[in-house]
Structure 1
Amino acid sequence: MAKKTATSKKQKSLEETLWDAANKLRGSVESSEYKHIVLSLIFLKFISDIFEKRKEELIDAGQEKYVDLVLAYTKENVFYLPIESRWRYIQKNSKQEDVALKIDTALSTIEKNNKALQGALPDNYFSRLGLDASKLAALIDVINNIDTLANPHEDVVGRVYEYFLAKFAIAEGKGKGEFYTPKSIVNLIAELIEPYKGKIYDPCCGSGGMFVQSIKFIQNHKGNKKDISVYGQEYTGATYKLAKMNLAIRGISANLGAAAKDTFANDQHETLKADFIMANPPFNQKDWRASDELVDDHRWDGYETPPTSNANYGWILHMVSKLSENGVAGFVLSNGALSDEGVEHKIRKKLIEDDLVEAIILLPRKLFYTTDIGVTLWILNKNKKKHSVEDDAHKRDYRDRTGEVLFIDMRKCGIPFEKKFIDLTDKELSTTIETYHNWQQENWTKTYNNIPEYCYSSTFKEIKENNFSLVPNKYIEFKFSNESFDFDGHLAKLQNKVDVILQREKQEKSELFRSFKESGYELQA
């Protein structure tokens, strides 16, 4: 008998299986709608599985008379589902022509019966899309085969959301980076600002990824998620709903405002003072306010009014206004904010003089799926620690380090991902986190060293001499493989060549104008 040989056929992941099923809807609905359809259905499957598990627990405990008592579920943080809202009911009727209506009814009923989900679920979404019933049934069959409770530690909905959002960002190439924050960046921000206890705020919270990672940080460090409260705001209605759904299934209580609103025009947390702010605002947002609007807004008190042409410093000052007395913020902006001139320069200068800027971290390109522009992670801290150094006699000499900023360059970090993108490794993240926290130590000279081409601790004087630029390359030492290479001399030679070329162009242009003039023609300059 022939010996069997093992096959190495790769089993598709949950995300890949869902993606294939969702792709069957192509032609019936816009591709950008896939993630909302799939997430709503997997959400319904997930909470139904939890409901059925709790129901079985009641029966096994001899408490069958309580299986339809709402309190028996809600006291265990389980959503109570009427019969028409349960996955079994939807799956049983999946081949019916009115299955879209049944899904809408199920979601609407769930929202009405569970306060935590108010405003979270789609309203008549499936019926409105006019989906092909047979294709929708096929998608339901795929989701039906998923055991959402196989691993209680798996972040099912979060995983699927991240996967779908990334796939659409890659496929469509739209946006400015605001739709998706790479998980490695979210992890980095959380590990740097350490949101253990207090109020956490994200003024442009998207699907709530920053909050989810904050909770994971607390759990990983043996903290208590009851020690924090979550506040956020989101402008896009569909994303606002996803955020509420994303947080609800994790048992994260959050105040995301009454509805999706513009953070600048309609701040729903006007009096909030947050201990931690984590954000990935829209990059280089244009026309974020009319020229005569928000000119004297309290959020700019003590600073210039941010220009209408770019919202970067509007976001910065909004976050500064939200920080508590000892608050710290970590957020991502495009590199242009490091050296913008005009009004932005005046605001940046004041931020540095107020000793709010603690760290500037250059991130690699191609981290974001929707843009490849250079980006920077900023850390602002309203209570920067005063560091100390030791003299030669090993006696402590405390000195005021007001205005000092740590610069880190991570542009050489990252490994290939999905062919044209990169992702940061755990080792690279841990190195940066360790560098930052070592620099924060009281006796920092024993724990931190400047490293050429990677990090540098600048003084306020150095920053002032560089006209308050926060471009890391102006501070971090860069070496060349050829130590004898004269960079300044080489740059001077290049400048001379450029000057020669420009002079030659000027002469040739002058001769051309003269030739035409001699022929009776006049050229316009």
Structure 2
Amino acid sequence: MNQQVHNKLVSFIWSIADDCLRDVYVRGKYRDVILPMVVLRRLDTLLEPTKDAVMEEVRFQREEAQFTELDENGLREASGYVFYNTSDWTLQRLRDTATNNQQLLEANFKAYLDGFSQNVKEIIDKFKLRSQIRHMASKDVLLNVLEKFTSPYINLTPFEKLDPEGRRLPALSNLGMGYVFEELIRKFNEENNEEAGEHFTPREVIDLMTHLIFEPIKDRIPPVMTIYDPACGSGGMLTEAQNFIIDEMGLIRASGDVYLYGKEINDETYAICKSDMMIKGNNPENIKNGSTLSTDEFSSMKFDFMLSNPPYGKSWASEVKYIKDGNEVIDPRFRIRLKNYWGIEEEVDATPRSSDGQLLFLMEMVDKMKPMKASPIGSRIASVHNGSSLFTGDAGGGESNIRRYIIENDWLEAIIQLPNNLFYNTGITTYIWLLSNNKAPDRKGKVQLIDAGQLYRKLRKNLGAKNCEFAPEHITEIMQVYRDMAVVDREGDEGLASKVFRNQDFGYYKATIERPKRLKAQFTAERIAELRFDSKLREPMVWAWETYGDRVYTELDSLAKTLVEWCEKQELNLSRKQQDALLNADTWLKQQNLLHLAEKLMAAIGTDEYTNFNRFALAVEMELKARGVKLSASEKKQILDAVSWYDADAERVIKGTVKLKGDKLDQLLHRLGCDPSQLADFGYFATGKPDEYLEYETESDLRDTENVPVGETTLDETIHGYFLREVKPHVPEAWINLEQTRIGYEISFNKYFYRHKPLRTLEEVSADILQLEEESEGLIRNLLAFSQ
């Protein structure tokens, strides 16, 4: 479409808001009328040429065929579209027959809306157009708006016509109408800056994404293709992808050759997207309304291309119940299998924190990739994310597992860092992830990172948070670096930088390093006094004991209300289970019995300090046995914990001994990847007796972790070698707990593209300070002179 015609048409429609809706709607609500009316007028003009045929089909079905319900197939065939209108009205007829009676016009308008097919009625309902018609009628502006949209000076029809002065008004194709509609959406989004980023991605970002998706395989584009956006918003990415195929790539296709699919949770945005599909001749039934995460609307489908800008930093807590049952993932889209440290495949958690669901949308697209046997090009994905998708989540956690799953399957081609303040409602740094399950041979096993954060041109006027944009030459430069998979160093503070990494460069093992528990122990009256209280209920039990003494054992029922009120006043927020335990006499008696038992043990064993906890615990065990007292493991632990404490000079606490010989020893050595002399590095310490090894209790407060790069060597050599180099020389008694080793993946642009900036010299700083002092003195002198 001619740019001048396009601009004129957009300006005319844009002016309707100020001409007709000022004082009737606040400025931010103009879109609630203009967008649905544009949709309605376009659909109306498409149906005008076949209006008589549709009405004849209605007459035939009702009078001759005597159908009790109209046959949609016949009506669609008569209209020539997937939608139709069976009322006697058109917008032009409504306007031509209208009087100043706004109530009559409203009634006729509603009859017109009621005549549409169900798919258009859904759009009308999502737009809440009926209430807008009622509001405009009540404010006496409905006729004015209708006159504007049916004006003979604009042409929203697909046919060329003349205006009243005889000037030619070019026909408006479906594609041209799509451009007009998208321009209006863009302008309204810019007017409402606070909402823009929710459903509108800047055009140049979409342009870059379409180049990345299609251009590398432009010679292998399939004759029929499917394009999907799981968070499609107003459909900008879908329609821009279609436009790119037709305009940029010069591939003139029938609309039936490109099938667009999407899902959107917001009702109004969904209505915009679905109506846009209708306007452009695409199948509106391929656009679904609802949560992508809650229901798998396209579970049986795979797509050639996928583009999306999913919501980031948005909670998916309300959708957890559809994805997980407790800790078990029940949605197959988010169930993945990865090998653990020992090389055994197992199902792992592939769900991020409930506060941010953006990676779930990426997993939804990964789930919809076409396998190579079904498509020679596989599938290509471009998805916009913020920085948290790159590094949030610990090794073995959901986010890390998702990154690992994608990278280890060799699907990640590149990540492009975008400039700050490129989007309308946020200034944060964003990234485009580019995925393919059919990488070019030179990209296999590699990931390209492109830092285009300094590549932009400033806007003359800010649009919300957006103060810069990509120029066409910037997109060309990014694409050139991507195509060449070039390594580029940034020159100064401008331009872009690019690096290429191996897949394993992003992986690391999070190895747990243990140290032995060393305890001293001693019975004292002060220490065992703590046994009177349950450690989980210590605060309220201490208060009750100090306030009421022995009455807590005999009068607890009468004290219950006061105790509960005290807990509420202190805002302890006890659970129902904790409150029941606190008010249960058995809890108090159990703790009292432990205290009395400890007093007897102290009398028998004495109050000497033990530096060897093993001997102390044995003495306690023998005394309990002599008295015929049997305690549960938790009760025994409670007594020992009360009278012991960590001390670096104490002896190590022995957990137990194990026998290692023959096949059992060989299997362990093979699993650990070490020889017998190195078993202590993995927590098995020789006792001096043949085939016997000690295991020590671990001190949780001294537990540490080390992130060990995956590198090129085997798992065990990597971690063990790192331990020998970096840990053991400093902490000889430490050992590796391989059972707790986790594999993690993260991508750090700051680390890979960090450029050191030297500090300014003392002379430069001093010069700036002196200059500021001169300026401030000058300002003060001017203020004094002005006051006089």
TM bin (shorter chain): 0.7 to 0.9
Whole-angstrom CA distance in 1 between matches of 2:106 and 2:24? 13
Q: CA deviation at 1:251?
A: 0.8
Kept in 1, the 8 Å contact 2:305–2:380? The answer is yes
Kept in 1, the 8 Å contact 2:17–2:30? The answer is yes
Superposition map of 1:69-88 within 5 A: 74=78, 77=81, 81=85, 84-88=88-92
Q: CA deviation at 1:412?
A: 2.1
Kept in 2, the 8 Å contact 1:73–1:79? The answer is no
Kept in 2, the 8 Å contact 1:29–1:131? The answer is no
Find 2:749's aligned residue among 462, 472, 475: 472
Give the AA of the match of 2:380. V
Whole-angstrom CA distance in 1 between matches of 2:127 and 2:444? 58
Q: 1:73 to 1:322 in 2, by over 3 A?
A: closer
What is residue 208 of structure 1 aligned with on the other side? 235
> Residue deviations 1:310-336, cap 9 Å, x none?
112212212211211221111111222
Give the AA of the match of 1:249. I
Whole-angstrom CA distance in 1 between matches of 2:407 and 2:17? 49
Give the AA of the match of 1:49. T
Matched, 1:242 2:272: yes
Matched, 1:28 2:33: no
Whole-angstrom CA distance in 2 between matches of 1:67 and 1:299? 45
Superposition map of 1:375-394 within 5 A: 375-387=430-442
Deviation larger for 176-185 or 306-315? 176-185
Matched, 1:305 2:311: no
Q: CA deviation at 1:153?
A: 4.7
Q: CA deviation at 1:415?
A: 4.2
Matched, 1:359 2:411: no
What is residue 41 of structure 1 aligned with on the other side? 37
Q: CA deviation at 1:46?
A: 2.3
Find 2:102's aligned residue among 79, 82, 97: 97
Matched, 1:427 2:473: yes
Deviation larger for 358-367 or 147-156? 147-156
Give the AA of the match of 1:437. R
Give the length in aligned residue pairs: 445
Q: CA deviation at 1:461?
A: 4.5
Q: TM-score, normalised by structure 2?
A: 0.51
Q: 1:202 to 1:131 in 2, by over 3 A?
A: same
> Residue deviations 1:2-48, cap 9 Å, x none?
xxxxxxxxx98433443332244245346554324212222232233
What is residue 347 of structure 1 aligned with on the other side? 402
Q: CA deviation at 1:470?
A: 2.7
Matched, 1:251 2:281: yes
Q: 1:386 to 1:337 in 2, by over 3 A?
A: same
Q: 1:108 to 1:188 in 2, by over 3 A?
A: farther
Q: 1:292 to 1:40 in 2, by over 3 A?
A: closer
Kept in 1, the 8 Å contact 2:225–2:258? The answer is yes
Q: 1:293 to 1:219 in 2, by over 3 A?
A: closer
3-state SS, counterpart of residue 245 of structure 1: helix
Superposition map of 1:248-287 within 5 A: 248-256=278-286, 260-287=289-316
Give the AA of the match of 1:316. L
Give the AA of the match of 2:230. P
Q: 1:33 to 1:401 in 2, by over 3 A?
A: same
Q: CA deviation at 1:156?
A: 5.3
3-state SS, counterpart of residue 141 of structure 2: helix
What's the Cα RMSD here? Answer: 3.7
Kept in 2, the 8 Å contact 1:166–1:369? The answer is no
> Residue deviations 1:64-100, cap 9 Å, x none?
x999998797575496555644221132227431334
Give the AA of the match of 2:362. I
3-state SS, counterpart of residue 360 of structure 1: strand
> Residue deviations 1:136-176, cap 9 Å, x none?
33222332332124243575554454344444444443248
Kept in 2, the 8 Å contact 1:51–1:73? The answer is no
Q: 1:287 to 1:280 in 2, by over 3 A?
A: same
What is residue 513 of structure 1 aligned with on the other side? none
Kept in 1, the 8 Å contact 2:233–2:264? The answer is yes
Whole-angstrom CA distance in 2 between matches of 1:433 and 1:153? 31
Whole-angstrom CA distance in 1 between matches of 2:322 and 2:503? 34
> Residue deviations 1:244-287, cap 9 Å, x none?
21111111125435x52111112211222222111111121124
Whole-angstrom CA distance in 1 between matches of 2:502 and 2:296? 36
What is residue 428 of structure 2 aligned with on the other side? 373
3-state SS, counterpart of residue 458 of structure 1: strand
Give the AA of the match of 2:360. G
Kept in 1, the 8 Å contact 2:58–2:75? The answer is no
Give the AA of the match of 1:201. Y
Kept in 2, the 8 Å contact 1:83–1:89? The answer is no
What is residue 384 of structure 2 aligned with on the other side? 332
Find 2:323's aligned residue among 294, 307, 311: 294
Give the AA of the match of 1:414. R
What is residue 481 of structure 1 aligned with on the other side? none
Matched, 1:143 2:420: no
Superposition map of 1:411-490 within 5 A: 411-416=454-459, 418-420=461-463, 421-439=467-485, 448-452=486-490, 453-464=496-507, 468-476=745-753, 487=756, 490=759
Bigger helix share? 2
Kept in 2, the 8 Å contact 1:206–1:240? The answer is yes
Whole-angstrom CA distance in 1 between matches of 2:401 and 2:127? 49
Whole-angstrom CA distance in 2 between matches of 1:132 and 1:241? 20
What is residue 536 of structure 2 aligned with on the other side? none
Whole-angstrom CA distance in 2 between matches of 1:253 and 1:175? 28
Q: 1:155 to 1:103 in 2, by over 3 A?
A: farther
Kept in 2, the 8 Å contact 1:84–1:106? The answer is yes
> Residue deviations 1:89-118, cap 9 Å, x none?
132227431334433332331325xxx646
Kept in 2, the 8 Å contact 1:111–1:121? The answer is no
Q: 1:123 to 1:461 in 2, by over 3 A?
A: closer
Gapped regions of structure 2 (runs ≥ 5): 1-5, 61-73, 158-169, 215-220, 337-348, 372-377, 491-495, 508-708, 711-743, 763-788
Q: CA deviation at 1:337?
A: 1.7
3-state SS, counterpart of residue 260 of structure 2: strand
Q: CA deviation at 1:473?
A: 4.2
